[in-house]
Every structure is written in C-alpha cells, then in structure tokens.
Amino acid sequence: MHRIFILSFVLLASGFIGCRRNLHPVPDIPFNININVNLPSYSGLQSIGGFAYVENAGVKGLVVYRRTMDEFVAFDRMSPASGGDTCAPLYVDANNMLILLDSCTTSQFSLFDGSLIQGPAEWGLRAYRTMWNGVNILNIQN
C-alpha cells in the first residue's frame, strides 16, 4: 500500500512538472470581442484568403485569416520565440500572404494554421476561438 502511495505521488508530481515545462510562451490574456467584417478596417476578411489585424486583443493584437466562407482563424501577433515579448508584433509577409514573419528571430509561421514553418521558435502561434454568425459578425475569444 505504501509503495502504491509513493508511486502515485511521483507520477502526479512528474505530471505537474511536465505540464509546467509545456506552457505556451505567449501569455493567456482573457478577451471576448466582436468584429464587423463589413467595416473598412476589416475589409480583408470579406473574401476567402484575406486577413486583417485586430488591435486591443490578445498580447500584441491579433491577425485573423479567412480560410473559407464560414471558417476563420485568429492568432496572437506576439511571437512564441524567445524574446517575443520585446519584439515587434508578427506581420504578414508581403511576398507570401500565407506566412507571418518575426522580425527579431526570423521565425516564420503559417497564417493558415499557426504552425511553425522555420526558425528558432519551438512553438506555433497562440490560437483563439472564432465564431461566425454567417452574416457579418465574427466573435473572437480565448
């Protein structure tokens, strides 16, 4: 019985330690916003393959990408690479609109799914939930 208790404690403690090392480097900032894609500042979201930056949400703002007529993805513009908190926000590559660039570490991320394409970053982008009302309002929250 004593061995089972010790084994359980060791497994539980190692699980907590393992989880601690796997925390995403971009802080989890609570927010819940609605954007109207018909507004001029979000006009890039009116067509499939378009994107728009959203200020005042997340850590360094968001980038939102429209995958299909009914599917959007939203990512924090803070780089998950080391030092991302002190660097400029990620930005869409003018030569390839499906890539987000990190000007500090040269890491590159997919705008389609937030995955790391290349560079020293060890994480993909922090993604947020999106809900589309089917007409003009996109809700984004973490």
Q: What is the rounded CA–CA span in Å between residue 87 and residue 103?
A: 7
Which residue type does 23 have? Answer: L
- Tens digit of each residue's pLDDT, the chain (142 residues): 555 545 455 455 555 444 445 588 999 989 999 999 999 999 999 999 999 999 999 999 999 999 999 999 999 999 999 877 888 999 999 999 999 999 999 999 999 999 999 999 999 999 999 999 999 999 999 9
What are the structure tokens assigned to 123, written together? 């994480």
The secondary structure of 117-132 as a DSSP string is: EESS--S-PPEEEEEE
Which residue segments constitute the domains of the chain, with CATH numbers given? 26-141 (2.102.10.10)
- The distance of Cα 74 from the centroid of its chain, to the nearest Å, equals 6
pTM of the model: 0.83
